[in-house]
């Protein structure tokens, strides 16, 4: 399976896809277990679903797609499963980076890079450098990521600036914090999708998802396809987004 060219956004702006869709890719292991297969096979099929998601996001006109690939808490999983996941991540970057670049996809990685396997770190750096000027779709991969840790990091950076006299503590506001998050420069997600039926954010984009619509799909990630993405987008369009006000606010 390959990643095809990224198509332009749909002409009907009223029914256009949300600009930023974030997905918690959940259920690879349970998908495999339900079929009597090893968990590693579930993760392999999950990579295939990831490829489909990137292709379909571009075709539907989504501008930013953020995927939760590996959380800071996932290191507590069995060593063999972690090794299988790392191999799949390396293989995905090696095999798909050129195709992503050709399709105009910009790759951006968020998460803690300290202590990562040097080869994975090299692949991350290569992917970001090669695709930095692309503008058809921004693919944000949350790898070794945790929302609380991200906010703590931002708080530490702001505190250091204030202690050094470069920032007036009285001037700190939401914009200040956003400028120190790893997603700085990106719009907040309009829609957060979670597969597997679980109804929680699991430490994903905690600050950024304050006003996102949350759609839970009762399927495991390997079964996520274009129909599932379109179903979530249709549900997004049925929501009335008030952002704390009394009336719906139009999307930017």
- Which amino acids are annotated catalytic? 26, 74
For residues 32 and 49, is the Cβ–Cβ distance under 8 A? Answer: no
In angstroms, the CA 167 to CA 171 distance is 8
Are 235 and 190 in contact by the 8 Å Cβ rule? The answer is no
Q: How far apart are CA 235 and CA 54, in angstroms?
A: 20
What 3-state class would DSSP assign to 172? Answer: coil
Report d(CA 197, CA 3) in Å as an integer: 27
Residues 52 and 58: their CA atoms lie apart, in Å, by 10
């Amino acid at each position: 399976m390959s990643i095809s060219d990224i198509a332009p956004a749909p002409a009907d702006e009223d029914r256009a896809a949300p600009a930023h869709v974030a997905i918690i890719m959940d259920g690879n292991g349970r998908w495999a277990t339900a079929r009597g297969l090893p968990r590693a096979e579930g993760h392999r099929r999950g990579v295939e679903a990831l490829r489909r998601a990137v292709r379909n996001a571009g075709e539907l006109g989504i501008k930013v797609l953020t995927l939760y690939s590996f959380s800071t808490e996932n290191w507590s999983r069995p060593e063999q499963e972690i090794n299988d996941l790392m191999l799949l991540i390396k293989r995905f970057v090696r095999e798909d980076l050129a195709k992503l670049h050709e399709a105009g996809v910009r790759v951006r990685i968020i998460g803690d890079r300290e202590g990562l396997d040097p080869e994975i770190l090299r692949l991350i750096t290569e992917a970001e450098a090669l695709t930095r000027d692309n503008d058809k779709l921004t693919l944000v991969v949350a790898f070794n990521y945790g929302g609380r840790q991200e906010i703590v990091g931002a708080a530490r950076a702001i505190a250091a600036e204030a202690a050094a006299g470069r920032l007036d503590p009285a001037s700190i506001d939401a914009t200040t914090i956003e400028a120190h998050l790893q997603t700085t420069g990106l719009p907040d997600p309009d829609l957060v999708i979670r597969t597997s039926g679980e109804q929680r954010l699991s430490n994903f984009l905690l600050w950024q998802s304050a006003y996102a619509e949350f759609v839970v799909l009762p399927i495991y990630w390997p079964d996520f396809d274009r129909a599932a993405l379109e179903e979530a987008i249709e549900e997004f369009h049925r929501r009335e987004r008030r952002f704390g006000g009394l009336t719906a606010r139009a999307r930017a």
